[in-house]
Amino acid sequence: MTTLLPPLPPVDFRGQRLTSAEMALKNGKPDKEKIDGAAEDFEALLLQQMFDSMWSSVPEGGLLDGGSEAEFYRDLLNQQLAKEIAHSQSIGLKKTFAEDMARVEGKEASERRDLGVG
């Protein structure tokens, strides 16, 4: 089926793209709020891709054939559902991502302090 509408942009929650992983530092410590937000955004992106893959396995035609409009609204549903799951329930990836990003950002901040940069 050809889509008349352009594809949705990558997940963009809270007005920030996934570049929010570039955390600002406060007093040489990672910004926990930005790390948590980036981890949540990343988990939502993975969930949305999983939902898109699941829908692609559903045969077209019959009751589920709604054309390009149905596909557009299904994408919106997938995006919102992924956002809600990542925010409220999570599937456990958010915590792991946040811990790893905080560890990496902490190392980089330490290296910058040692070099006298930033």
pLDDT single digits (tens) 8-56: 445 445 544 444 444 444 444 567 888 888 899 999 999 999 999 998 8
pTM of the model: 0.62
Are 102 and 30 in contact by the 8 Å Cβ rule? The answer is yes
* Cβ atoms of 82 and 13 closer than 8 Å: no
What tokens does 66 get? Answer: 């709604």
Question: What pLDDT digit, counting tens, does each position of 103-117 carry?
Answer: 887 777 677 676 665
- Pick from 115, 116, 113: nearest CA to 27: 113
Q: Where are the domains of the chain?
A: 28-115
Measure Cα distances from 30 to 35, 80, 104, 114 in Å. 8, 28, 9, 16
Strands 29-30 and 25-26, bridge-based pairing: antiparallel
